[in-house]
Amino acid sequence: MSQEESEAVFSSAADLFSILSTPIRLRLISALCHGEKNVSQLLAEIDTTQPNMSQHLSTLYRAGILGKRREGTQIFYNLKSQRAATLCRAVCNQIATEIDGDASIPVSDRLMPTLRQG
């Protein structure tokens, strides 16, 4: 891979991480992993205001991570980017495992720094 191609990869990854950098966006992706939902359904699962929810849904939609369709007055959102879903799942599962104190994960493979006792 050339340096130019490498830079493009790192830039694309940084853009994706930037979009995924808020907990509510990660929750939205998780909530949509098993099928589409409308805003009311998402608000029932995620504790936030409707304007805040709409702002984050719009950001994810503009980034191509979510798709949407209208049915009457309802807008249904769905997961369009499996790449983003896979990344979220991998990172969140790894962190959850580490928080649970799974000692079988070698320190070199951990995403979270080990907390120092003392």
Q: With 60 as the cut, is the pLDDT of residue 49 above it? A: yes
Q: What is the mean pLDDT of residues 99-114?
A: 60
Domain locations along the chain: 3-80
* Domain 3-80 fold: Arc Repressor Mutant, subunit A (1.10.10)
Q: For residue 86, give the amino acid letter.
A: T
Query: How would DSSP label each residue in 50-106?
Result: HHHHHHHHHHHHHTTSEEEEEETTEEEEEE--HHHHHHHHHHHHHHHHHHTT-TTS-
For 4-44, what is each residue's pLDDT tens digit?
888 898 898 899 889 989 999 999 999 998 899 999 999 99
